[in-house]
């Protein structure tokens, strides 16, 4: 009897084991199919900018793949899960859902770290681990967590360098190294550390140029090279080398225009081309070439408007569209046109801020739109309207928990506009106090800076306080570099030394 029971138990165990093996095999097949189909859909929809179509599907897939009991399986299964989670994170990031994107990335990271420990020389594992670190760093960067972003971007570079050491003649390895360099450059740039940013961007341009020479028909690589050229142009711009920056922006525009013309319906290329025009337009404004700036910004606005209509749920496109509207308002031919443009831009920005309240760029852009509106109201003699718009803008700017130069420059601009308004109302004490606030913000950072945004603010604040001699060097530097922004020149007229004493 005991022998019979033992044999029965063994038989049931074998049957159960077989059932488990079949279930595991079916699950692996299902996961493989899901990963393949998700990848196919993402590849097809990414160029169209329509990853929103996968939102509900990716949500359900994330719930399955991120479950606590999914950490076990064969190497093939783990690779499939990590890849699927990476794709889901891309969809969620495109949908401006950072919480879900982070959940997917962290789940994938746990799998990839496990694999990297077991297979330290596996190129596929190292490549996936690097991509995962990049996306995690990008999320931190967008939330202004620069220390966190740098940590993940350094992990990305480490993984990329390890891959390149394994395959030194593979252009794909050079490209990943270029991306890592570019990512670290953006962090240094946001901190205002141009000395650290410049070599990273130069390395990125060199690596991508080398890769493109070996793959001249690669459209994606061409666009990526344009991106690194743009960052290098921005460094030149911040160093006061405006002519060199303009030349680099022209190169970027040419690279992206060719891609856009080849595939005008491709949302990805259209967006990048619009951004190139946006940056070019801003630099032309700084150089006082307002007519050319208006042409570039209008073209960027048209492209972004088409994209937003194509996919109203794409917040990144809406954000850039609103940013262009703010710049166009500064060039508007009339007060009414400027205010109408700013009203639309402010409404769009406020809606985006409500969805992503922690995004520093959006909060600062909303305050900037109000500052530009306040200046327009003030110069039209509508001082009450100007103060009503500017007060909440200054409150928002002071509430932003960020030490970046972009936020500081917007704060300075707000106080200088406040000084203009008080001077127009003949309130010398209030005007003096506003100018002093602007100067105090700039004093720790202006130093030997060549950034025209800082230098112009310093010149205006010193003129406003009646101490123009304190800014003669900076004013001469601005003239030498070719900085002739119309808003700056107009503000010089308002920054009268008569407010030097309260």
In a domain, 501, yes or no: yes
- What pLDDT shows up at residue 70? 47
Specify the number of domains making up the chain. 1
106 found inside a domain: no
CB 185 within 8 A of CB 193: no
Evaluate whether residue 376 is within a structural domain.
Answer: no
Does residue 453 lie within any of the structural domains? yes
Helix (H) / strand (E) element for 398: namely helix 383-399
The rounded distance, in Å, linking the Cα atoms of 181 and 210 is 15
Q: Is residue 466 part of a domain?
A: yes
Question: Mean pLDDT per segment of 10 residues, for the chain of length 502 residues?
Answer: 42 46 44 47 48 47 48 56 68 67 77 78 88 90 92 96 95 94 93 89 95 91 92 93 95 94 90 95 97 97 95 92 96 95 94 90 94 96 96 91 83 96 94 96 92 96 94 96 94 61 39
Q: For residue 174, is it within any domain?
A: no
Spatial separation of the C-alpha atoms in residues 154 and 197, rounded to whole Å: 14
Residues 388-424 as b or e (16 or more Cβ within 10 Å = b): ebbeebbebbeebebebbbbbbbbbbbbbbbbbbbbe
Task: Identify which of 404, 364, 402, 360 has the alpha carbon closest to the alpha carbon of residue 189.
Answer: 404
Q: Is residue 160 part of a domain?
A: no
User: Can you give the residue range of the structural domain that contains 462?
Assistant: 403-502
- Predicted pLDDT at 494: 65
| 104, part of any domain | no
Terminal alpha carbon distance of the chain: 108
């Amino acid at each position: 009897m005991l022998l019979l029971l033992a044999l029965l138990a063994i038989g049931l165990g074998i049957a159960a084991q077989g059932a488990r093996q079949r279930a595991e095999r079916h699950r692996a097949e299902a996961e493989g199919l899901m990963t393949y189909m998700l990848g196919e859909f993402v590849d097809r929809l990414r160029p169209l900018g329509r990853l929103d179509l996968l939102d509900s599907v990716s949500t359900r897939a994330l719930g399955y793949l991120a479950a606590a009991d999914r950490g076990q399986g064969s190497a093939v299964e783990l690779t499939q899960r990590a890849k699927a989670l990476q794709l889901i994170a891309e969809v969620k990031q495109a949908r401006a859902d950072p919480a879900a994107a982070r959940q997917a990335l962290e789940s994938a990271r746990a799998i990839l770290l496990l694999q990297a420990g077991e297979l330290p020389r596996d190129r596929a594992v190292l490549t996936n681990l690097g991509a995962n670190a990049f996306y995690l760093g990008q999320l931190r960067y967008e939330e202004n967590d620069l220390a966190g972003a740098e940590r993940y971007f350094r992990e990305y570079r480490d993984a990329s360098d390890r891959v390149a050491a394994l395959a030194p003649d593979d252009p794909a390895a050079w490209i990943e190294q270029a991306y890592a360099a570019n990512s670290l450059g953006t962090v240094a740039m946001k901190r205002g550390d141009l000395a650290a940013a410049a070599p990273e961007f130069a390395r990125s341009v060199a690596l991508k140029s080398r890769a493109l020479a070996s793959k001249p028909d690669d459209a994606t690589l061409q666009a990526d090279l344009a991106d690194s050229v743009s960052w290098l142009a921005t460094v030149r711009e911040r160093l006061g080398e405006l002519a060199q920056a303009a030349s680099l922006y022209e190169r970027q525009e040419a690279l992206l225009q060719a891609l856009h013309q080849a595939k005008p319906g491709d949302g990805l290329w259209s967006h990048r081309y619009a951004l190139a025009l946006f940056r070019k337009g801003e630099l032309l404004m700084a150089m006082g070439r307002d007519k050319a700036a208006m042409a570039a910004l209008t073209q960027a606005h048209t492209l972004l408007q088409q994209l937003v209509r194509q996919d109203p749920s794409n917040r990144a496109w809406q954000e850039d569209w609103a940013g262009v509207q703010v710049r166009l308002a500064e060039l508007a031919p009339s007060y009414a046109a400027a205010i109408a443009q700013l009203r639309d831009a402010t409404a769009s920005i406020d809606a985006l801020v409500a969805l992503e309240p922690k995004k520093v760029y959006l909060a600062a852009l909303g305050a900037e739109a109000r500052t530009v509106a306040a200046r327009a109201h003030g110069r039209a003699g509508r001082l009450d309207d100007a103060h009503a718009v500017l007060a909440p803008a200054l409150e928002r700017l002071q509430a932003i928990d960020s030490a970046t130069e972009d936020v500081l420059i917007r704060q300075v601009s707000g106080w200088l506009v406040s000084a203009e308004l008080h001077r127009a109302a003949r309130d010398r004490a209030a005007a003096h106090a506003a100018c002093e606030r602007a100067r105090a913000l700039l004093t720790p950072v202006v130093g030997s800076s060549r950034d025209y945004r800082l230098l112009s603010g310093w010149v205006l604040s010193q003129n406003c306080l009646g101490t123009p001699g304190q800014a003669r060097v900076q004013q001469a530097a601005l003239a030498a570099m070719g900085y002739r922004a119309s808003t700056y020149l107009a503000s010089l007229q308002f920054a009268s030394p008569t407010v030097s004493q309260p």
